[in-house]
Chains A and B, each alone.
Chain A
Amino acid sequence: MTTDTTSLRPSAARPRTEDTPASVRGRRAHAQRRAQLTAWAFLAPVALYLVLFYAYPLWKNIELSLKHYTVASFVSGNAPFVGLQNFADVFSSATFAPAIWHTAVFVLVSILVQFALGLALAVFFHNSFPLSGLLRALFLVPWLLPLLVSASTWSWMMNSDSGIVNAFLGSVGIGQINWLTSPDWSLFAVLVANIWIGIPFNLVIMYSGLQGIPGELYEAAALDGANGWQRFWRVTFPLLRPVTAITLLLGFVYTLKVFDIIWIMTKGGPSGSSTTLAIWSYQLGFGSLLPDFSSAATVGNVLIVIALVVGLIYARVQRRLEV
């Protein structure tokens, strides 16, 4: 569409244009236009795809949140426009503040612990030793398993009466803990499972970050008399800062989306004690016999605003790293 006007500009701006015969200039512009057309022909399917399968569902979601949909009007498609009423309802709901708090705790604790353990393991694996490659590969397993598989395994392990976790704790003298059925422990329980799943991702990224640090730097630091601890904090850690930033931001975005693990293990309960925004949105839309799609979409949009803010930070950080 805009190709015609824009592709002419470079040749027009060239200083030698006056000497060039008009026909040559025309041919060059023509070739550039053809090149742009070809480039966009390759790009068009994805562009169309993005519009149909990202933009349109997103738009649907916004529309749901601005109208008052009931089950009947959801099928027929004519619901009254209510402006920001759904948002006001969601913000004043008794579930809102706890859900925000659970989301914040879940996301921040997850990414910090995952990162710390992932980095420690990456440093551990960085000096190769017999079998290190094989063991590092095995560490990927939790990340590759379907989330549903991991979540159901953890929920049986954390079963109050017959789970191996309580059996182990019992053998060292700690009484039964109702991991999944006590409001005091449910958020902790899903956090443990989620951290377990996220460690491999952090390990792999930080490991490749470590590989990017030239060995000469360590030699220099060692010659200057730095010990292992100093070498880590003075050489390794500062040089890993760009990778660290990206890892934490990606971790944030991924963890914000987490749904399967919590839904399988606790369904957000008991009494909402492990309900995050993603879980709440699903509960409203699909979790009951009387779906409330408008409220569900509204909560979803709150989630997307948070994700987009973080996404913009991510893009900014990445751009700064490229400069």
Chain B
Amino acid sequence: MATTTVTRAVTTRTTRGAGRPATGTPPAAKRWWRTAFGVVFTAVMLFPVYWMVNVSLTRDQDMRKSPPNLIPIDGTLHGYSTVLGQQLPFLGTSLVVGLGTVVLTLALSAPAAYSLAKLGPRGGGAMSFVLLIAQMIPAIIMAMGFYTIYVQLGILDTIWGLVLADSTIAVPFGVLIFTAFMRGIPDELLNAARIDGASTWRTFTSVVMPVSRNSIVTVSLFSFLWAWSDFLFANTLDGGGDAKPITLGIYAYIGNNNQEWNSIMATAVVASIPAAVLLVLAQRYVAAGVTAGAVKD
């Protein structure tokens, strides 16, 4: 997709510059100016991220300095050693909750999407509509409902209770992404499997799922990231026990009116690692996920 745009842009420019033979493409200098502007914009945009890292490396005695150090001179890793000492169990919980949410989301949304995309269930349209509306319910309302139910069932402060709640953020999105992709799978492929005697379930597991690899990655990425980042469900449903995720670890620091901002920001940096990893490893899946819900080709 990106390459076609580039070619298109280049052709456009060539056509425009047709009268001036020497300037088939715009002068290199002009394009580098754009790069310069782009770098400035990006730097402004990412300044808070830089600042988070900078503060995480600042010594306690420099924290209240005015003006603050713009680069971590006399930097310290003290904040990070605090993270390792206090936050490791929270990171572990977040990892388990994130992975659990991914598994649950995939298991629920992929078969449903296959049905909606290819099997033509009656009432499928209504189902898609309900899923669309479900995404619009504010999380605070879901949290209140879950809290009421969990109190009565006595399952507050459990990891799987949090996994269930977190999955509600991702399941409608998952169905949406999978349906959009699976609609594009050629019917011939599915018919061939059927002629070979495969059952619908077999077709699903050995034909549909393997070709849907990209959407599996996208859905997994987002459901993990959302579960990892969740604060509201964690705070309402898991605030009391030992099963606290990393977001509550940071929140506990802030809530105690802790002035060790290097430790707080070090935890924040560590909590951002999954986002950074995902961006480096899977940028195109991320972009695909953002646009899939909104733009229909």
Contacts and interface: CB of A to CB of B under 8 A. Distances in A.
Contact of B35 (A130, A138, A196): A130
Given A153-B52, A164-B51, A38 B200 contact: yes
Nearest to B254: A152
B265 A153 contact: yes
B197 interface: no
Contacts of A161: 64, 66
Contacts of B247: 146, 148
Given A141-B275, A205-B290, A293-B144, A311 B115 contact: no
B251 A170 contact: no
Contacts of A201: 290
A167 to B, nearest CB: 4
A243 B34 CA distance: 26
In this complex, the member of B6, B15, B68, B225 whose beta carbon has the largest number of chain A beta carbons within 10 angstroms is B68
A147 interface: yes
A39 B115 contact: yes
Contact of B272 (A6, A145, A200, A303): A145
Contact of B141 (A58, A150, A157): A58
Contact of B294 (A56, A211, A247): A247
B31 A129 contact: yes
Interface in A97-130: 121, 124-130
Contacts of B165: 53
B42 A135 contact: yes
Contacts of B261: 156
B11 interface: yes
B152 to A, nearest CB: 7
A139 B42 contact: yes
Contacts of A132: 34-35, 38
Contacts of A45: 107-108, 111-112
B278 A222 contact: no
B183 interface: no
B127 interface: yes
A144 interface: yes
A3 B129 CA distance: 20
B139 to A, nearest CB: 6
Contacts of A142: 45-46, 48-49
B12 A307 contact: no
Nearest to A128: B6
B119 A38 contact: yes
Interface stretch (B73-81, B184-192, B279-287): B279-287
A144 B141 contact: no
Given A57-B142, A154-B48, A307-B138, A46 B121 contact: no
Contacts of B231: 146-148, 260, 264
A322 B6 CA distance: 29
Interface in A216-272: 218-219, 222-223, 243, 246-247, 250, 253, 256-257, 259-260, 264
A290 interface: no
The secondary-structure label for the interface of chain A is helix
B157 to A, nearest CB: 14
A3 B1 CA distance: 42
A250 B293 contact: yes
B51 A157 contact: yes
Looking at B42, B55, B114, the one whose CB has the most chain A CB atoms below 10 A away is B42
B103 interface: no
Contact of B114 (A3, A42, A129, A243): A42
Contacts of A260: 231-232
Contact of B115 (A43, A54, A149): A43
Given A49-B171, A56-B145, A130-B35, A140 B136 contact: no
A199 interface: yes
B148 A64 contact: yes
Interface string B79-94: 0000000000000000
Interface stretch (A19-27, A82-90, A183-191, A280-288): A280-288
A144 B286 contact: yes
Contact of B108 (A7, A49, A285): A49
B121 A296 contact: no
B158 interface: no
Interface of B: 1-2, 5-6, 8-9, 11-12, 15-16, 31-32, 34-35, 37-39, 41-42, 45-46, 48-49, 51-52, 55, 63-68, 107-109, 111-112, 114-116, 119-124, 127, 129-142, 144-149, 151-152, 164-165, 167-168, 171, 175, 200, 204, 225, 228-229, 231-232, 235-236, 247, 250-251, 254, 261, 264-265, 268, 271-272, 275-276, 278-279, 283, 286-287, 290-291, 293-297
26 contacts: A2-B123, A39-B115, A39-B120, A40-B115, A43-B121, A43-B124, A45-B111, A46-B108, A57-B146, A59-B145, A61-B145, A124-B34, A127-B34, A129-B32, A132-B38, A141-B45, A142-B46, A145-B229, A145-B272, A149-B52, A149-B268, A200-B290, A246-B294, A250-B293, A303-B141, A315-B129
Given A53-B164, A54-B134, A300-B138, 17 more contacts: A39-B115, A43-B112, A46-B108, A46-B171, A141-B45, A144-B279, A144-B286, A148-B268, A149-B268, A167-B68, A196-B48, A205-B290, A208-B291, A211-B5, A219-B11, A281-B140, A314-B132
